[in-house]
Amino acid sequence: MIRFILLQNRQGKTRLAKYYIPLEESEKHKVEYEVHRLVVNRDPKFTNFVEFRTHKVIYRRYAGLFFSLCVDITDNELAYLECIHLFVEILDHFFSNVCELDLVFNFHKVYLILDEFILAGELQETSKKAIIERMGELEKQE
């Protein structure tokens, strides 16, 4: 199960944070700080996995943005790595060539996409097309 999803830039500013477990606000800030510290200085050749407390963080860097998923120790790391990539592809498709600013100004949409992709810490949909279509329908509702 995914414990939380973080999207941070190189300076450690959180662009998206989604927690599927209850955490105190102060604890969330601590987690975000620690995860950023863990991933930011790793060599690109290194594994995309770091142990974090009793869990594991699967992260991947896209330009200046780090996508980090915290998952259980027994979860399939490679699958979650693929999952991050799929999410990025969806964002890229939705915003057509996504950049950090898109995510800043449309953060609420990013959350909406995420809610169509992952729910209750589990993968909900694996088709990029289905999610983009669904987003179109939701936008029509506005």
Question: Which residues of this chain interact with other proteins, rule CB under 8 A?
Answer: 14-20, 22-23, 25, 29, 42-43, 45-51, 76-79, 81-83, 86, 104-105, 107-108, 111-112, 115, 119-120, 122-130, 134, 137-138, 141-142
- Indicate the helix (H) or strand (E) that contains 14: strand 14-19
Q: Are strands 2-9 and 14-19 parallel, antiparallel or unpaired?
A: antiparallel
Using the minimum distance from each CB to other proteins, give the nearer residue, 30 or 63.
30
In whole angstroms, the minimum distance from the beta carbon of 22 to other proteins comes to 4
* Of residues 85, 140, 142, 133, the one with CA closest to residue 113: 133
Cα separation, 61 vs 48, in Å, equals: 9
Least CB distance to other proteins at residue 44 (A)? 10
Distance of closest approach, residue 36 Cβ to other proteins, in angstroms: 13
Q: Which is nearer to other proteins, 26 or 96 (CB)?
A: 26
- Tokens 């498709």 label which residue? 93
